[in-house]
Structure 1
């Protein structure tokens, strides 16, 4: 049910963008590449033992978008991808419930997102300063995830994915470098709502959040 609602939300968001009065707007495409730093993810489970927190290494972030520019504001549909290696986990042990921190881990987490974004542009004499916010849907996938003894013993890994709602906010600068071409430098904070992952005999709740610094181009047409 949750996945169906998320996909429906994304479809409605993109449909709403498509229904905007495009005849009154300039159109553009954009692409950005940069670095992603994921926050540590805390896990909430019914059981009091198991994985308590997951830490990640810095990773890659990619964005592509098509939009409508109305002067002071813009609307766009964006597809994004980010991937980060899993660094370590903290574990609550049974039966003493002691916490073991910094347990070595392997694998990666990737996020594929579809967002509807709004922008507010401020012209600073040829350079545009902008603020942005967006909502949409994200598919979060853990691949080849294993930790502790499973690494030393070459044990099996865990693979799972979930679709959930997502949101983002950010700011940036756009500097013209040619006719209808601008260099785009931006920061964004991206986060998902809670979703479920396997945890022992039951599921646990977790969310993903990241800081992203990106550089790219925006091309008008």
Structure 2
């Protein structure tokens, strides 16, 4: 029974080991998934909401490097997201109807192609909660910069420009250990890049913003912190069969015999 109890204690320690490698350690991770872009309203010249771009479902990828302080994580992230444009709605005469961008300005609803994409560099902070030895949740956000490129095509690419500016995001998700060093997770991200100033083919100012919602699957490698100290066996610091033997007491009666 003593050997069985010691084996159970060691096994419980091994099961808890994967999560212990997260704290006080560096980690790297990758993620990817699907993305939905909110309709992009375009202010063209002096006309507010002159046009709106509707997108197909796109994709979102990321790579992160961070440090886990325990209940809080800090990380840097590089992300890229892209979605094809499927349609446009023009509320005021604002889109050229010819391929070279010099035709008459038209209004209405039109199928379109082209795409919108954003390359971002962010600094994130995450708060972790839940049991370290199983499913764990986290919430957080980040700030940084993003280069957003918008290129809708009707008869031609009437807008094909990019702008770089401030971006922020909100993040929530769950993760769980696969092994001592590997975690898998599921993450939701809301990404926002506002105040984008573009120029169309006619030289007019076009203002808009890029907002997206993403669901990402993640894979993280933890480099590992301090090794956990295993608990002593139930019966003390030594197994019964390896306990040190007590030295025999000196034979005082021999000393007494030698005096006679």
- Structure 2-normalised TM-score? 0.67
Question: In the alignment, is the contact (CA less than 8 A) between 1:92 and 1:98 conserved in 2?
Answer: no
> How far off is 1:211 after superposition?
0.3
2:72 maps to what in 1? 73
Compute the displacement of 1:61 (Å). Answer: 0.5
1:126 aligns with 2:134: yes
Residues 34 and 87 (structure 1), Cα distance of their counterparts in 2 relative to 1, 3 Å cut = same
Alignment of 1:128-147 (within 5 A): 128-143=136-151, 145-147=152-154
8 Å CA contact 1:182–1:217 kept in 2: the answer is yes
1:29-66 CA distances to partner (integer Å, 9 max, x unpaired)? 01001001000011123333895111111111001000
Residue 189 of structure 1 aligns with which residue?
190
Residue of structure 2 equivalent to 1:170: 171
CA contact (8 A) 2:51 2:92 kept: no
Runs in 1 of length 4+ with deviation above 6 angstroms? none
* Shift in CA distance, 28/44, structure 1 to aligned 2, threshold 3 Å: same
Cα distance 1:107–1:68, how it changes in 2: closer, same or farther (>3 A)?
same
SS at match of 1:195: strand
Q: Which runs of 5+ in 2 are unaligned?
A: 1-22, 95-104, 224-260
CA contact (8 A) 2:44 2:50 kept: no
Distance 1:113 1:53 in 2: 23
Q: What number of residue pairs does the alignment pair up? A: 189
Aligned to 1:83: 82
RMSD between superposed Cα atoms in Å: 2.3
Indicate which of 208, 211, 214 corresponds to 1:212: 214
Structure 2: distance between partners of 1:84 and 1:190: 14
Larger radius of gyration between Structure 1 and Structure 2: 2
Query: Aligned equivalents of 1:130 and 1:49: distance in 2?
Result: 39
The 3-state SS of whatever aligns with 1:207 is strand
Which is richer in strand?
A: 1
Equivalent in the alignment of 2:17: none
Cα-to-partner distance string for 1:165-209 (whole Å, 9 max, x where unaligned): 100001000111111111011101001021112244420210000
The 8 Å contact of residues 139 and 164 in structure 1, kept in 2 or not, is answered as: yes
Q: 1:117 and 2:124 equivalent?
A: yes
What is the match of residue 108 of structure 1?
115
Gaps of 5+ in 1: 1-23
Match of 1:46 in 2: 45
Counterparts of 1:130 and 1:50, CA distance in 2: 37
**2:204 maps to which of 195, 202, 216:** 202
The 2-side partners of 1:107 and 1:38 are apart by: 14
Label 1:156 to 1:126 Cα distance change in 2 as closer, same or farther (>3 A). Answer: closer
TM-score normalised by the chain length of structure 1: 0.79
User: CA 1:72–1:138 in 2, change beyond 3 Å: closer, same or farther?
Assistant: same
Q: Separation in 2 of the partners of 1:45 and 1:123?
A: 49
Deviation of residue 159 (structure 1)? 2.4
> Using the alignment, how far apart are the partners of 1:80 and 1:33 within structure 2?
10
